[in-house]
Every structure is written in C-alpha cells, then in structure tokens.
Structure 1
Amino acid sequence: MELLDAFVARSLEEVRFWSRIMKEHSLFLRLGFRCEDTVLINEANHFYATFENIESRANRFTLNEDPNVIRRFNDEVHVAVSHIWLFKRKVLGLILTCQLPGANNFPLLVDHVSREANYFRNRLMELNTGRLEPLPDAIIDENVFFLRIMADHAKFISHLLDPSERKLIDQANQFSADFDQLLFQARDLESMRPQSQTVPLLDQFLDQNRVSVKSLRDFKKTARDLIEACRIKSIIHPLLADHVFREAEHFLFIIDMFENSLTGKTAHQ
C-alpha cells in the first residue's frame, strides 16, 4: 500500500513519537511506586534507558535509510514494546490485587499506558507487514482509540489537581464528559459499519472530533504553562502536562491526515 520511502518516513515518525512516550511512561510509573518497591523501580529505570536509546537511534536515521534496515529496527522496537506492555500489565495486576498499598499510580492510568503500548506494537506490525487498514476502518478505529485516550487524560488531570483548584477541576470534568460522549458516538458509528462508512458521515465525524480535540489541546497547553510557572496547585509533573499536550497534538495530526485522504487531498507527513 505504501511506497518504500513512505514506509521509512511513517516508521520513523511513529517510532520517534511513541518511543518518547514509552520512555516517559517509565518515568511516571517509577514516580508512583513506593520507595520500597525497588524491583519495580529498577525495571522502570531499565525501560526508561531502553526507550531513550531507541529514541536516540530513531532520531539519527534519515529518510534515505534502507527500508530493510528500518524494518529490522521496527522488529527490535516491537520486542521492547512487548516487554514494557507486559511490565505495565503486571503492575496493573499488583495494584488491583492490593499488593501495592499506598502507591500513587491509578489503575486506569496503568491500563491507559498499556493500551498505548499495545497500539504502538500493532502499528509497528502493520508497517512491517504492509497490512494497513482500509481508510474507512482506520478512521473509525483510530478515533475510537484516541477519543478514549483523551477522555482518560481529562480524568487524570481532574484527579491530580489539588482539590482547591475547583474551577480547573470543573473544566477537566466537563472535558471528560464531552469525550465520553464523543467516544460513545464513535462506537455507535463503529457498530453501524460498513453502512456507516460514507464520506459525508466520516467527514462530519472528523470535523466534530477535531473541534473538541482542539479545545482540549488548548486547555492542556494552558494547564502545562501554569504548572511550569508554578501558578496552580497540583501533583502533576510538568513533563506529564507536556506529555498529554503532545498526544492531543498527535491526534489532531492524525485527524488532519485522514481528512486530507478522505477528501482526495495529499496528506502531509
């Protein structure tokens, strides 16, 4: 489906973005462990170093790289992502069976980061096999995935702000409710396919989601800037604030790419 040069560009784009995300997940999980959880802390540090190395190598590759080299690199990254996915699911199991009392990682957050790892390894497999979904399926599936991610982010922001930040908490809760509704709509469209996969319906679907994601992106940017300037009370790490902002930007990029493909324009890389 994709030409070799497009394969290299898409692969590097995905690995550069998601390897940084995986690296930061390792840090956030480590910050949530108790000081006595030394084995888990060491595992998190190992994954941080692993994905820092992958990110660095991905940034050194050029668009003129031999596709076979990139294919082997994707396979290597896939193994690392599978390992961090297993680690995240193990941590989730420990939390849900009350074996980490007093730790500060929400179960939903650990599930959230594991879903992103699973998404990343699926993308690597799709790229290496050349078996990308048809555009109508990809539009619905990617939006179902990312709308849930955005809804989660709003919930995390609400719960990590200090309880005295009432106005910001109200805003975050409103975004949570809005994205839950968008997710329900997306799942309705999903269950109505293939009949729902008309260009007018998919176009409207993307337009509606873009408006809401832009609003959430702007809210995240404001929150990030306030946290970095120490102007609001929270237990949100400044890097976490930037992390969720970047994921909203990434979702907007995907929406625009779909819109361009759907309407016959050339998608910008």
Structure 2
Amino acid sequence: MSDLFVARSLEEIRFWSRIMKEHSLFLRLGFRCEDTQLIHEANHFYAIFEEIERKSHAFQTNADPQTIKQFNVEVYTAASHIWAFKRKVLGLILSCQLPGANNFPLLVDHVSREANYFRNRLAELNAGRLEPLPDAIIDENVFFLKIMADHAKFIGHLLDPSERKLVDQARNFSHDFDQLVFQAIDLSSMRPQSQTVPLLSQFVDQNKVSVKSLRDFKKTARDLINDCRIKSIIHPLLADHVFREAEHFLVILDMFEHFLQGPKRSES
C-alpha cells in the first residue's frame, strides 16, 4: 500500500502541478498592463509550481512514504494559495474592477475548481481515505464532464467567428457535455440505489465515447493552431493544455471500466 500511495501521489502532483503552472501563465496573459500586482502574483505561482513539478520528477516510486506525505502537505499548501488567488481574481472581475481584462469569469472559476480538486485529492491521499469506487465513478464524472463542457465553450469563444464550422462543432460539444453533466447529476442524486454495476458501466461507456470524440476534436484544433492553419486567439499551449486534460479523463475512465468489468476482463 505504501508503494501505491507514493505512485498515486506523484502521479497526481506531476499532472496537476503542470496544470497549475500553466493556469498561472494563462491568467497573466489575460491581465491588463496596469495590473502589475496580479501579474507579479501569477508569475510567483508559476515559479512555485514549476519547482514543485521539478521536485516531483526527482522522486522515484520507491521513495519513503513519509517523505512523500510531507511533500503532499507542501503541495497542498501551494494549491490552496493558488485557489485563493484565483477566487480573488474572480471576485475582482465580477465586481467590475478589471474592466478590459481578457479572463472570462467562467475560465477563472474553472481553474479554481481544478485547484480545489487537486488539493482535495492530496488531502485524501494523505488521510488514506479515497472514496469508495461507486462514489468515485460518479463524482469524478460530474467534475470532469463539467470541465470538458467548459473547454468546449472556451474553444468556441476563442476561435475567430469566421471559423464557422469549428465554432459550430465547439458549440455542439458544449451542448452534448452539458447534457452529460445533467445526466451525471441525476445519477448522483439517485445514490445509492443508482450505483449498480450495469448502470455505472453504461454511464462510463457512454461518457468515454463522448470524451474520445472531444479529445480528437481538441487534438485537431491543437494541430491546426500549431501549424497556423486556422484563425483564433487561442494560445498554442492552451490548446495542448485542454487536450491533455481530456487524455487524463480518459485514463480515469479506463481505470473505472477495468474495475467494473472485474474478472470478465481476465477471462476474455
């Protein structure tokens, strides 16, 4: 179990510290020139999570669990601080104190939800109290389906309006994932009666098909942006960022599928 704790902790930190680092960059790019204090804070968080990412890759999976537990506490503190920074920025935007800045309120809320998810996961790992699998299947899907729906909305708004076909595709994905979010919330409200293997299996399979389609769309958009073949104000790193998050969600869905199939997988 100690080896699993170390592996899971490092996996989460390696993925999410890079995400947090990139959030700092995206927020900074959206601030106005005169927002020097906010720019300074964003740069500070970029440096913090860059160092956390570096340290996470320096550890091996045979590292001392107590050392990793202490590292988790350090990272939890950093995640809590960047969460507070993001919520502060959201408050400034919603109270019209940053007129002309380019960070959508939904985007700032989105990145704060991811920071909160990250710190909660670290707390769960350190406490040794990960959710039971049936609860995790529903809660992870509610969280990530909303993330995917948000991504589709951001892509649709950041593409040039003249890219009509791609904008329409993004809007369609936004609608589809909104529906999946509502379905996930409905399944959640029916707990525990809804947590049967057949229902959860169908739930995971359906979501996996949709996430794969969105992942492929994001990959295409990323490649077109990198090749300067479409018109948009999407930063190439942002295009890759949302693609990686879809890939991460698919890994989680694959894990759920594996557990739900159980012995049948090994028999086939």
TM over 0.5: yes
The 1:135/1:266 distance shift into structure 2, 3 A limit, reads: farther
Q: Does 1:107 align with 2:98?
A: no
Unaligned ranges ≥5, structure 1: none
Offset from partner CA, 1:120-170 (integer Å, 9 cap, x none): 000000000001110000000000000000000000000000111100000
Q: Does 1:211 align with 2:206?
A: no
Instruction: Give the match for residue 175 of structure 1.
Output: 173
Opposite residue 140 of structure 1, the aligned amino acid is: I
Instruction: Give the match for residue 21 of structure 1.
Output: 19
Superposed displacement of residue 264, structure 1: 1.7
Q: Is the 1:260–1:266 contact (alpha carbons within 8 Å) kept by the matching residues of 2? A: no
Give the structure-2-normalised TM-score: 0.98
The 1:265/1:25 distance shift into structure 2, 3 A limit, reads: farther
Opposite residue 63 of structure 2, the aligned amino acid is: E
Between the aligned partners of 2:182 and 2:4, the Cα distance in structure 1 is 33
DSSP-derived class of the 1:194 partner: coil
Unaligned ranges ≥5, structure 2: none
From 133, 138, 141, the equivalent of 2:139 is: 141
Instruction: Give the match for residue 11 of structure 1.
Output: 9
Identity %: 81
Q: Does 1:64 align with 2:62?
A: yes
The 1:75/1:146 distance shift into structure 2, 3 A limit, reads: same
- The count of corresponding residues between Structure 1 and Structure 2 is 265
Offset from partner CA, 1:159-185 (integer Å, 9 cap, x none): 000111100000000000000000000
Instruction: Give the match for residue 253 of structure 1.
Output: 251
Instruction: Give the match for residue 223 of structure 1.
Output: 221
Give the structure-1-normalised TM-score: 0.97
Instruction: Give the match for residue 200 of structure 1.
Output: 198
Between the aligned partners of 1:158 and 1:266, the Cα distance in structure 2 is 41
Q: Is the 1:160–1:235 contact (alpha carbons within 8 Å) kept by the matching residues of 2? A: yes
| Structure 1 segments of 4+ aligned residues over 3 angstroms from their partners | none
From 230, 233, 248, the equivalent of 1:232 is: 230
Q: Does 1:121 align with 2:82?
A: no
Between the aligned partners of 2:150 and 2:53, the Cα distance in structure 1 is 25
The 1:265/1:154 distance shift into structure 2, 3 A limit, reads: farther
Instruction: Give the match for residue 162 of structure 1.
Output: 160
Superposed displacement of residue 265, structure 1: 5.7
Opposite residue 129 of structure 1, the aligned amino acid is: A
RMSD of the alignment, in Å?
1.1
Between the aligned partners of 2:24 and 2:91, the Cα distance in structure 1 is 17
